[in-house]
Amino acid sequence: MQQPVASTQELAQELVFREHQIALLQVEASMLAAELLRSGFLEDEGYNSPTDWLRFNCHLTDKVASDRINVGEHLAELPMSVDYLRDGEIGYSHLSVMARTAEAVGKRFAERELLPLALELTPGKFYYKTLHYRHSV
């Protein structure tokens, strides 16, 4: 029996659902990457950097590998962002921008100040707003 063709609305909803599932998996991968980094395994394998290990073994680009490590290293500073991601309010790209901002500003990082922007803006626009934030703190 032939399945009925899904409506474009159903296709759109399915795509959003799938991307959300991917974002959740990316958070899990980030946790694993950070755990491997802390264990020393990534350096002991003889690669130039932990990012290189991820690039070669997980078939990632340099930026994606770096994002996995950076997000994983900063998850403890991003509990509200992770909650919003789990609820589907922001995506992994927003979380990556948050983590890079936390890395850049250190102890001055205030997740609560940036969350309204993450909720309102696309990841690209959010990135540019965080550049202003970096210079203001």
Supply the pLDDT for residue 42.
82
Q: Using CA atoms, how far apart are residues 5 and 71, in angstroms rounded to an integer? A: 39
In percent, how much of the chain has pLDDT > 70?
96
Q: What is the mean pLDDT of the chain?
A: 95
pLDDT at 27: 99
The pLDDT score that the predictor gives to residue 45 is 87
Is the per-residue pLDDT at 71 higher than 80?
yes
User: How many angstroms separate the CA atoms of 33 and 50, rounded?
Assistant: 9
- What's the pLDDT at 1? 61
What is the sign of the dihedral through the CA atoms of 69, 73, 76 and 81? negative
Q: pLDDT tens digit string along 77-124?
A: 999 999 999 999 999 999 999 999 999 999 999 999 999 999 999 999
Which pLDDT score, from 0 to 100, does residue 3 have?
Answer: 66
pLDDT (0 to 100) of residue 6: 82
- Spatial neighbors of 41 by CB under 8 A, at least 6 apart, are none
| Matching residue, tokens 């399945």 | 3
- What's the whole-model pTM score? 0.91
